[in-house]
Amino acid sequence: MKRIMIWLTMLIINTVSIPTLSSAARDSLVAPALPNGCVVTGKVPGGVNPKNAVVYLEGVPFAGRPAPMHKEMDQKNLRFTPHVLAITVGSQVTFLNSDTVNHNVFGVGADMFDLGTWPPGRRRTKTFTRPGEVAILCNVHPEMSAYILVLKHPYFAQPDALGRYKIAGVPPGTYTLVIYQPERKPIKKKIQVGC
């Protein structure tokens, strides 16, 4: 019981407030985490569609390569789902065709590629090796589009349906918090992280 009280006291003392991103947004907090870093939490401001946003930190020191991820992007009802996907460099994305028509997948931007056209029920996989934004398109259906943001470090999150995000393992320091949305100017804010 005594250990729990000490831990709770340390938690309260070490929690640091971060300035809001806008008057509509809740205060973001930096909360103590395990010895390997802090946790940055918050909520995207009003006007940002959480489904189409990625929150990440700029300026965080990170050596080496982040652990690769394996994600999926589906083609269903003539739409890419999800519309926005964040991954680390070296990660794989499997593209599914859950429609009843042929689809194509090609990328333009930081990583240029064309996976060709394939029939319903099939899938193809692409490894992303260059950081930056990649627009995902289908040359069979030009109205279809999506975006993949490839990052060089693991300090990012995609907000939940309410706009809340959580970035774990962040070392203490001063960074720029970026809210990325495709086809819009990113929202940037300096934050101080301490735990």
Domain residues of the chain, as ranges?
A: 2-48+163-193, 70-151
Per-residue pLDDT at 183: 86
Cβ–Cβ contacts within 10 Å for residue 124, how many?
16
Per-residue pLDDT at 36: 74
Per-residue pLDDT at 138: 96
Per-residue pLDDT at 133: 97
Residue 84 is encoded by which pair of tokens?
């926005």
CA atoms in the 13 A half-sphere facing the CB of 43? 12
In sequence order, the 6+-apart residues with CB closer than 8 A to the CB of 140 are 101, 102, 103, 104, 117
For 176, list phi and psi in degrees, rounded to 5: -105, 120
Longest dimension (CA), the chain: 65
Q: How far apart are CA 17 and CA 25, in angstroms?
A: 13
Per-residue pLDDT at 10: 31
Give the H or E element holding residue 93: strand 91-97
Class of domain 70-151: mainly beta
Per-residue pLDDT of the chain (195 residues), as tens digits, is 333 332 323 332 233 333 333 333 333 333 333 347 899 999 999 999 999 999 999 999 888 889 999 999 999 999 999 999 999 999 999 999 999 999 999 999 999 999 999 999 999 999 999 999 999 999 999 999 999 999 999 999 999 999 999 999 999 999 999 999 998 999 999 999 988
Task: Please answer whether residues 174 and 30 qualify as being in contact, where contact means their C-beta atoms are separated by less than 8 angstroms.
Answer: no
In sequence order, the 6+-apart residues with CB closer than 8 A to the CB of 163 are 43, 44, 48, 50, 53
